[in-house]
Amino acid sequence: MIRVSLTNAFAKRTLRPLLEKHQATPLGINLLSTESGDIYSGMVAALTKEVGGTAGVVQIADNTSSTDEIFGLFALDKNAVINDLDGQAADMKPFAVWQGGPDAYFRIDDPAFETDSQTYDVGTPLFVSNNGKLCAATGGAITAGTNQVGIVTEVPAGGTRLIIRITSPNNAA
């Protein structure tokens, strides 16, 4: 069972599954013990191995790794606003990841996706950026990976929110 701290119970998460048309699966898994970056729900998770060889841990995905595979979107947070690892034992890092399916739709809020010099329209394919956030294939200093993670299905006004359908790791097009 994953236990989360209630200290930030009213803080807003950056990922919300759209349950009325939803075929994604939340999966409990451990976070890589050396992972030190900020994680916002909706960022891209990669399946990896611990240094000691233990398989089945996740870390923030990047666009350069050839040994890790895209695993889904983080369902929990580890940042200055929400820290779901708060109160966990030092040797435990239980976390959760949403995995895709043919109808896995999510509302993603900034900062879980790149906003600098990025243009998102309906149908824009989404990739992982160099810091684990979702991004379009083009855009200034942001380099996109080669594996598609999802696709934009709606762009609400304001530019700080996207409605997406994730396609990884099942690659359901």
Q: Is residue 106 part of a domain?
A: yes
Q: How far apart are CA 100 and CA 42, in angstroms?
A: 12
Q: Which of 126, 122, 106, 124 is nearest to 154 (CA)?
A: 122
Contacts of 157 (CB under 8 A, 6+ apart): none
- At 118-159, the pLDDT tens digits run 889 999 999 888 888 999 876 666 777 777 888 999 999 888
Q: Is residue 32 part of a domain?
A: yes
Q: Is residue 74 part of a domain?
A: yes
Q: Letter for the amino acid at 87?
A: G
Cβ-based neighbour number of residue 132 at 10 Å: 23
What pLDDT does 38 receive? 94
Q: pTM of the predicted model, to two decimals? A: 0.85
Q: Is residue 9 part of a domain?
A: no
Q: Is residue 173 part of a domain?
A: no
Q: Is residue 85 part of a domain?
A: yes
As for how many domains the chain has, the answer is: 1
Inform me whether the pLDDT recorded for 66 exceeds 60. no
Q: Token pair of 10, please? A: 């009213």
pLDDT band at 75 (very low <50, low <70, confident <90, very high): very high
Q: Is residue 4 part of a domain?
A: no
Q: Which domain holds residue 68?
A: 15-166
Q: Is residue 8 part of a domain?
A: no
Strand 161-166 versus strand 150-154 pairing type = antiparallel
Q: Token pair of 136, please? A: 């379009």
Task: For the chain, give the mean pLDDT.
Answer: 82
